[in-house]
Amino acid sequence: MSIAAAVSRIACRPVRCDLISAQAAVLERNVSAEVAAEYKRAAIANVMELGRLIGERVPELDAHRAGRVAAGTLLVTGAIWTHAQPSAAMLAAYEADPQLASLRLDFTATLREMLQVLLAGVLARG
């Protein structure tokens, strides 16, 4: 199984995806500096662990580049999740206008494709 396929399977847990997509816009607001720092330390540790796992599967990546793929994975996951959860109004617009319907995203397929592009780009940059 490819890294992109594995991550897209793990990441498609709705609550996890909601939290990833809300972290910067919601979860990091209105908290003390101490709470923010504690959260960021935990986030760094999680990204480093994901980077380590990615590095195990893709030995061409050194730890720094594997970490960049891991961090990019979280950013892409949050963005795609948000756009793949259209409101009722957007669903109605998609149904009413076939041209708009082409903009509707399938979360898993789009995430897998974007992660493949991210990984290929990081590998290509060397």
Which two three-digit tokens encode residue 111?
Answer: 């995430």
* pTM, two decimal places: 0.83
pLDDT in tens, 28-48: 888 999 999 999 999 999 999
Neighbours of 35 (CB within 10 A): 11
Tell whether 51 is covered by a domain: yes
Mean pLDDT over each residue of the chain, to the nearest integer: 90
Summarize the confidence of residues 107-118 as an average pLDDT: 92
Whole-number pLDDT of residue 84: 93
Tell whether 126 is covered by a domain: no
HSE-CB of 97 using CA atoms within 13 angstroms: 7
- Answer whether residue 88 shows pLDDT above 80: yes
Distances (CA, A) of 81 to 30, 95, 99, 120, 123: 23, 20, 21, 21, 25
* DSSP-assigned letters across all residues of 73-92: HHHHHHHHHHHTS--HHHHH
**In which region does residue 2 sit, left (phi positive, over 0), alpha (psi from -120 to 50) or beta (all else)?**
beta
**What is the domain count for the chain?**
1
**CATH, residue 97:** 1.10.357.10
Tell whether 50 is covered by a domain: yes
Whole-number pLDDT of residue 11: 63
17 against 120, higher pLDDT: 120
Tell whether 105 is covered by a domain: yes
Domain coverage including residue 52: 3-121
Residue 2 confidence class, pLDDT cut points 50, 70, 90: confident
pLDDT in tens, 48-69: 999 999 999 999 999 999 999 9
Tell whether 83 is covered by a domain: yes
User: Is the Cα torsion angle 92, 96, 100, 102 positive or negative in sign?
Assistant: positive
Tell whether 59 is covered by a domain: yes
- Answer whether residue 82 shows pLDDT above 70: yes
Tell whether 54 is covered by a domain: yes
Tell whether 75 is covered by a domain: yes
